[in-house]
């Protein structure tokens, strides 16, 4: 009799374990469905900031993860007091989630690679043909080529002000134009040729998205999707780490602080005084939203914070305007009183 009870108890444990794993997988599927609609850029979790830049001609291995504007790149966590079985279940959920994301949208990594390829062609002043672009995209994703090209062109226009147009419909040759509709000529790293305003707005958006302070690691994870890597020279930005940590800090667009007791030293970035003066959280949210083909209101918590920021700035502008007006009125009254006593 005790032996039968033990066997029955063992079977129940197996059923409970199977039910738990099924629920974890369903949870991962639900999370993937929520994230799929609100991802600005793919953020490969296996590429640390200091890792060498991948070769754009090679197909990356493994699944890529994505980050929501609202939730960042955080994934499921387990309670420290949980059992080893719970931890295994969480790991299974994370693996299932990564696989589901990769299966749902194989395009982002191809978009990143095509952006790099287009910038290389532009920098070398080489012709950009439809056939060359089609050959560059991995043959497994040929059916998605129109969407890959559309997204790559859209991102380059938003971030770098580069507009890709077909200049010869017979031979299907493309060329880049700037915001003024002029062909791109000269040194791409010159602000006179390509202002870096869009890229700065993107960086400010990442900082806003991360709670108004972003670590160096978080910034590089985000920029990885645009084919921008520390230590790898960029046709427009030059060496990206130098541009971000030196140029933009000196221009007071960013403020950079070393995190206390960090070994090796790690840094955190905030908006600089020039950024606060020249732009707003609503404007940078609009840039992030456009990367998702969404309206800013699609990200409620960020949108509410941006609205509050707009109200605060409007109140400050009103206060500045009222100050001189009040001073002028007081001076006028004083002169009036003085003349009446004469």
The pLDDT of residue 191 is: 83
Write the CB contacts of 170 (distance below 8 Å, at least 6 apart in sequence): none
Task: Note the pTM of the prediction, 2 decimals.
Answer: 0.66
d(CA 118, CA 255) in angstroms, rounded, equals 32
More confident residue, 170 or 87: 170
> What is the mean predicted confidence (pLDDT) over 268-275?
96
Q: Name the average pLDDT for the chain.
A: 74
Provide the Cα torsion 198, 202, 203, 206; round to 10°.
170
Q: What values do phi and psi take at 93, rounded to 5? A: -65, -45
Phi/psi-derived region of residue 186, left when phi > 0, alpha when psi is between -120 and 50, beta in every other case: left
d(CA 77, CA 31) in angstroms, rounded, equals 14
Q: In this predicted model, what pLDDT tens digit does every residue of 64-118 receive, in sequence order? A: 333 434 444 333 333 444 455 554 555 556 555 555 554 556 788 899 899 999 9
Least confident stretch, 6-15, 22-31, 138-147, 320-329: 22-31
Alpha helices in the chain (DSSP H): 2-36, 84-104, 107-123, 130-136, 145-160, 197-209, 216-224, 240-242, 248-250, 273-278, 281-291, 300-340
Q: Is 165 helix (H, G, I), strand (E, B) or coil?
A: strand
d(CA 221, CA 218) in angstroms, rounded, equals 5
- Residue 181 has which token pair? 């509709």
DSSP string, 189-224: TSTTTS--HHHHHHHHHHHHHTTS-EEHHHHHHHHH
């Amino acid at each position: 009799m005790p032996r039968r009870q033990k066997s029955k108890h063992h079977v129940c444990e197996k059923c409970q374990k199977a039910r738990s794993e099924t629920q974890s997988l369903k949870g991962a599927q639900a999370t993937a469905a929520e994230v799929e609609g609100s991802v600005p850029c793919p953020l490969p979790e296996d590429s640390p900031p200091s890792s060498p830049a991948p070769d754009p001609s090679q197909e990356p291995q493994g699944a890529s993860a994505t980050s929501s504007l609202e939730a960042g790149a955080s994934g499921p966590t387990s309670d420290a007091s949980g059992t080893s079985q719970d931890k295994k279940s969480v790991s299974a959920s994370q693996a299932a989630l990564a696989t589901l994301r990769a299966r749902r949208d194989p395009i982002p990594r191809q978009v990143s690679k095509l952006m790099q390829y287009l910038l290389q062609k532009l920098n070398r002043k080489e012709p950009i043909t439809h056939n060359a672009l089609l050959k560059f995209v991995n043959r497994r994703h040929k059916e998605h080529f129109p969407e890959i090209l559309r997204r790559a062109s859209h991102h380059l226009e938003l971030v770098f002000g580069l507009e890709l147009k077909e200049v010869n419909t017979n031979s299907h040759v493309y060329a880049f134009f700037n915001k003024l509709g002029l062909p791109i000529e000269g040194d791409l790293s010159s602000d006179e040729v390509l202002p870096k305003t869009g890229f700065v707005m993107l960086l400010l958006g990442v900082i806003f998205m991360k709670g108004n302070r972003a670590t160096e690691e978080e910034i590089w994870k985000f920029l990885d999707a645009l084919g921008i890597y520390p230590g790898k020279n960029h046709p427009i930005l030059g060496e990206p780490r130098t541009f971000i940590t030196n140029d933009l800090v000196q221009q007071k667009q960013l403020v950079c602080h070393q995190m206390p007791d960090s070994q090796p030293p790690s840094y955190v970035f905030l908006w600089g005084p020039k950024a606060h003066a020249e732009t707003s959280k609503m404007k940078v949210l609009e840039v992030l939203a456009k990367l998702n083909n969404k309206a800013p209101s699609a990200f409620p918590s960020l949108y509410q914070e941006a609205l509050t920021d707009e109200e605060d700035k409007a109140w400050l502008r009103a206060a500045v305007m009222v100050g001189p007006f009040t001073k002028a009125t007081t001076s006028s009254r004083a002169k009036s009183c003085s003349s009446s006593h004469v």
